[in-house]
Amino acid sequence: MVKRFRSFVLLLTVCMFAVGVMLTGCSRTPNEKQMKALEETKAAATAAGDKVAQLEKENAELKAKLAEKQAELKNVQDEKAKVLSRVGK
């Protein structure tokens, strides 16, 4: 019986501590430091988004150039094969 009582008191103490932490850790409005951190985070996210868009655009341009060069290479290889077939006749 005493063991159960001690367990109950320990559990009650832990719960009261947890509730106390939850109540004191939150407020309805953010303070100035939190607002500044939020604005900095928003600015960083916007900058990162802009950088991603720029890199995606650059990636698309490079893929287009690569496709163009591959098509040019195929044409040159086809022309080379035609010339070699003519010379071999």
Enumerate the domain spans of the chain. 2-88
pLDDT at 7 (0 to 100): 76
Asked if 21 and 13 count as a contact pair (C-beta separation under 8 A), the reply is no
Query: pLDDT tens per residue, the chain (89 residues)?
Result: 667 777 777 776 776 777 666 656 666 787 889 899 999 999 999 999 999 999 999 999 999 999 999 999 999 999 999 999 998 85
d(CA 80, CA 86): 10
pLDDT at 11 (0 to 100): 72
- Show the DSSP H helices in the chain as ranges: 2-25, 32-88
Asked if 65 and 73 count as a contact pair (C-beta separation under 8 A), the reply is no
pLDDT at 37 (0 to 100): 93
d(CA 29, CA 38): 13
